[in-house]
Amino acid sequence: MITFKTIDDNEMKYIIENKEVSSNVKNVSENVLAVFTQDWCGDWRGLKRELNANEQNSDVDLTVFICIYNESDLYEEFMSFKEKEWKNDLIPYLRYYKNGNFIKDTNHLPFQRIMNVFQQ
């Protein structure tokens, strides 16, 4: 099963200050995917469709945190942080956590390849 949650402005501030998501995100379940994107991104729309289509029948129990940062007052600051600190200027940007530990980051991947990251 896939559970969806939102990364809010408070969490975005935490990420900027600490260069990493908080324990409230990475420890919420065994498998966590944090998605950082903008609402106009076609790849994000495709990924969102795939995630929604597999919400009930996913092989992996997964919590997906979504940050659509262009909808936030922190847009410019967060985008600058993401590009400079995380060295990633593409979207959607995906960060993978297993048992509270950061394991990998990628940009858009098809749904099954995302699931494969957690099954290794």
What does the pLDDT read at residue 58?
A: 87
Q: pLDDT 10s per residue in the chain (120 long)?
A: 999 999 999 999 999 999 999 999 999 999 999 999 999 999 999 999 999 999 998 889 999 999 999 999 999 999 999 999 999 999 999 999 999 999 999 998 889 999 999 998
Q: What pLDDT is recorded for position 120?
A: 81
Question: What pLDDT is recorded for position 109?
Answer: 85
Where exactly are the structural domains of the chain? 2-119
pTM: 0.96
What is the pLDDT at residue 118? 94
Please report the pLDDT score of residue 39 as a whole number: 96
In Å, how far are 20, 29, 33, 56, 116 from 105, measured between CA atoms? 12, 18, 9, 24, 13
Fold of 2-119: Glutaredoxin (3.40.30)
